[in-house]
Amino acid sequence: MYRNNMTRKEIERRFAERRPEDEKLLRTLRNCDRRHFLRTSLRFAGMAAAASLVPHQSFQLVNVAHAAIPGASPDQAFRFAYISDTHLYDRGLDHRFVTSVLKAVEDVNALDPQPDFVLFGGDLAQLGRPGELELGRQLLGEVRAPLRMIVGEHDWYLDLGEKWREFFGPDYYSFDHKGIHFVALNSVVEKDFWTEKGYTPEERMAIVAGLDDNRQSPFEVGAEQRDWLQKDLAQVERKTPIIVFSHSPLYKLYKPWNFWTDDADEVQALLRPFKTVTVIHGHTHQLLTNRIRNIQFHGLLSTAWPWPYAPEGLPEYTVQMFRADPFNALDGCGDGAVDVLPNGRVDKHYNLWARNPRTVTAKQLAKRRPPEGGGHQGPSY
Amino acid sequence: MTRRNRTTTLILTFYCAGFLLAAIGLAVAASGDDAVARRSGDPALHEAWAARVVWACDRRKLVIVEGVRPDEPIPPQRAQLVADLLQDLMRYCNEEITARLGVDQRITVSARGLVHEDYLPGGPLPIVPASYGEPTRRERLIWAAALEKLVTEGDRLFHSDEIGSNGIACAMCHPHASGTHPETYPKFQTQLKKVALLRDMVNWCILNPLEGEELAADDPRMMALEAYILAQRNGKVIEVGKH
Ligand SMILES: [Fe+2]
Ligand SMILES: [Fe+2]
């Protein structure tokens, strides 16, 4: 049998022992250049391996001097990379989710040429705690390219975004880059389910953090942001390509897991007048592709864990992910890049850490029929 | 005075009034025989089978006094126990109750023909919710509640970080127990190089993603986790060995 010979106590002791070291590591991380960072990560990887915590697959960090993110599309105008859904706990740098973030940071930093920016797709923290957000901020602080942040439900529901906004600024905004109008939304707004029930902030956070916890409300963008979006888009020409970042998919896929945005129809209606619209979203932790009229949708991989497909509603455009191997902690996880083409459409790369990389091209999605190998072959649920 | 089967030998007469019983006396009438013991001729078996049956006046309650041959008088101390027991059982006027008084004075009762359960005089009547006929509505409710209790505990554990050491919970990767496929077990788990049961994979995930300690098969937490996982997949077709 596969066994962890260490008792829980021993693991805890080792964690505790390494605390001062963690602190030192973090301090070094904070001020180091890229080469130094690499060395630090390598040192960390060795340390983690020495602790003989299973599974060792999580510590393949040693091998990632070059990133595996697939080569840029031939006619790309520019490229941005992404890291998403890191779900960090504030439990020291030995935690497997930290190891994964370090790996993702390595990946995007190794891209040559460097991406124009790196999108972080939300769910930086696991329970919205200041320590978790702070750890995430420090780890992402090592990314060489500029960062664009969006917020996930795990970041938000302890203090309703207070700490997150202090660290990263407004939760919704727009900017223009090389002819594309980018919009970042906070799509994880939930109607107040806590006041009446008297839930504490911690309880509220724990409920929202439970994907299958039906005590919460469905995600939505909400009237306030829709108003803002309408005004924001009023200044944009109809032929300008739009790329929207959101945490939840801006369509209705599976409500019980909040793979869903309740006012998706209204948001899509605001985007309908534009010729070329792409939505890039986090939250679903899997290969996920959709097309609804003028809008193409791409999901992001999580660095922490993959999700099985929902039991229903999987869009036929999705090239399905294999079932993840539970014996490989990195399987189904990863990061990736988005190549923005001159026409404003995108080719989407999934850099799966334990499988061959996958790319979903704009060309495939433009065809009326779903892409080769796509279609619903029966969910992994 | 009745003869019931061939073993009924002793009738205790009580005068019942309303819900109360007034025990007037203990009449001992020895008659009849013990066919089983006689047939076997084995004295040990004879002792084992020996029993006298004592009826209450309402004809609904009886005590089987073990270790006393039908033709033997019941020793006074045990006779007192029998009388007290019958009086106690008369609290349940309309119930048909069979009690057994063991040679070790252990008392079990069976109501409505259900399974015998330990009984403490003065205590509640143990209605064991298992019959061999069509279950009653009440029985179904009791069964459902008992199952629900185990599944609810499994639900709680599955969503909590307390069986691991690193804050991670099963439900984080398996919302609604998705991806656990209990209906495919047992199956050959290539990575374990053996045929695995559901609990082997539960333990794998406890040891690895959760960095916790393995649970024994009969650990109440393991039972609860299995109960929750299986309940979530209720109605799925069993496909043993499917990958
Ligand atoms: Fe997430
Ligand atoms: Fe999320």
What is the residue-level pLDDT of chain B in tens, covering all 243 positions? 333 333 333 333 333 333 333 332 333 333 333 433 333 445 554 555 688 999 998 888 999 999 888 888 999 999 999 999 999 998 888 888 999 999 889 999 888 777 788 898 888 877 655 555 667 788 888 889 999 999 999 999 999 999 999 999 999 999 999 999 999 999 999 888 999 999 999 999 999 999 999 999 999 999 999 999 999 999 999 999 998
Phi/psi of residue A129, each to 5°?
-75, 145
* Partner A contacted by B213 (CB < 8 A): yes
CB atoms within 10 A of CB A328: 18
- Nearest chain B alpha carbon to A56: B208
Residue A346 is classified by DSSP as E
Amino acid identity at A227 = D
- Residues A15-27 have a mean pLDDT of 49
Most confident of A270-274, A355-359, B122-126: A270-274
Q: Which residues fall within 8 angstroms of residue B120, CB to CB, at 6 or more apart?
A: B107
Residue B86 · residue B74 · CB < 8 Å: no
Mark yes or no for CB contact A8/B166 under 8 Å: no
Chain A within 8 Å of B233 (Cβ-Cβ)?
A: no
* B107 phi and psi angles, rounded to 5 deg: -110, 125
From chain B, the residues in CB contact with A381 under 8 A are 178-179
Distance CA A88, CA A107 (A): 18
Q: Are A310 and B180 in contact (CB under 8 A)?
A: no
ipTM (interface predicted TM): 0.81
Q: How many A from CA of A304 to the centre of ligand 1?
A: 8
Helices (H), chain A: 8-31, 34-50, 96-109, 130-140, 153-156, 162-168, 201-209, 222-234, 264-271, 362-366
Residue A75's pLDDT band, with cuts at 50, 70 and 90, is confident
pLDDT in tens, A240-253: 999 999 999 999 99
A381: nearest CB among B165, B167, B178:
B178
- For chain A, the structural domain boundaries read 1-68, 73-366
Question: Ligand 2 center to residue A211 CA distance, Å?
Answer: 8
With tokens 């990887």, the residue in question is A45
- Side-chain-side CA neighbours of residue A252 (13 Å): 10
Structure tokens at A330: 């990195």
Strand-pairing partners, residue A184, are: A173, A245
Instruction: Give pairs for B232-241: CB < 8 Å, separation 24+.
Output: B232/B176, B232/B177, B232/B180, B233/B177, B233/B180, B233/B181, B233/B182, B233/B183, B236/B183, B237/B183, B238/B183, B239/B183, B239/B184, B240/B184, B240/B185, B240/B186, B240/B187, B241/B184, B241/B186, B241/B187, B241/B188
Residue among B123, B125, B121 nearest B112 (CA): B125
- Interface probe, candidates B160, B162, B173, B183, chain A, greatest A C-beta count within 10 A: B173
* Winning range, highest mean pLDDT, from A21-35, A222-236, A319-333: A222-236
Q: Which two tokens stand for residue A63?
A: 């091998």
Residue A335 CA neighbour count, 13 Å, CB half: 27
What's the pLDDT score for residue A373?
55
Q: What is the mean pLDDT of chain A?
A: 85
Question: What is the C-alpha separation between A49 and A60, in angstroms, rounded?
Answer: 9
Using an 8 Å Cβ cutoff, are B30 and B10 in contact?
yes
Percent residues over pLDDT 90 in chain A: 72
pTM exceeds 0.95: no
CA of A97 to the centre of ligand 1 (A): 12
Residues A213, B159: C-beta atoms closer than 8 Å: yes
Domains of chain B, start order: 43-116 (no CATH), 137-232 (1.10.760.10)
Distance between A147 CA and the closest CA of chain B, angstroms: 27
Q: A246 pairs with which residues across the strands? A: A281
pLDDT attached to residue A84: 98
**Angle at alpha carbon of residue A79, lines to A76 and A84, rounded to 5°:** 140
What is the structure's pLDDT at B131? 52
Q: Is A117 or B8 the better-scoring residue by pLDDT? A: A117
In which residue are the tokens 């082997």 written? Answer: B200
Q: Does A322 touch chain B (CB under 8 A)?
A: no
Distance from the alpha carbon of residue A259 to the mean position of ligand 2, in angstroms? 9
CA distance A96 to A259: 25
The answer to whether domain A73-366 has CATH 3.60.21.10 is: yes
Strand pairing class (A147-149; A118-120): parallel
Report the residue of chain A nearest B243, measured CA to CA: A323
pLDDT digits (tens, 9 = 90+) for A121-151: 999 999 999 999 999 999 999 999 999 999 9
Cis omega before residue A20 (within 30°)? no
Q: How far apart are CA B56 and CA B7, in angstroms?
A: 16
A78-83 vs B20-22, strand pairing mode: unpaired
| CA–CA dist A298, A315 (Å, integer) | 11
Lowest-confidence region among A156-165, A274-283, A305-314, B15-24: B15-24
Give the pLDDT score at A218: 98
- Tokens 């001097």 identify what position? A65
Asked whether the beta carbons of residue B179 and residue A89 sit closer than 8 angstroms, the reply is no
Chain B, nearest residue to A212 by Cα: B175
* C-beta of residue A191 within 8 angstroms of C-beta of residue A200: no
More confident residue, A46 or B55: B55
Q: What distance in Å separates the CA atoms of residue B75 and residue B103, rounded to the nearest whole number?
A: 12
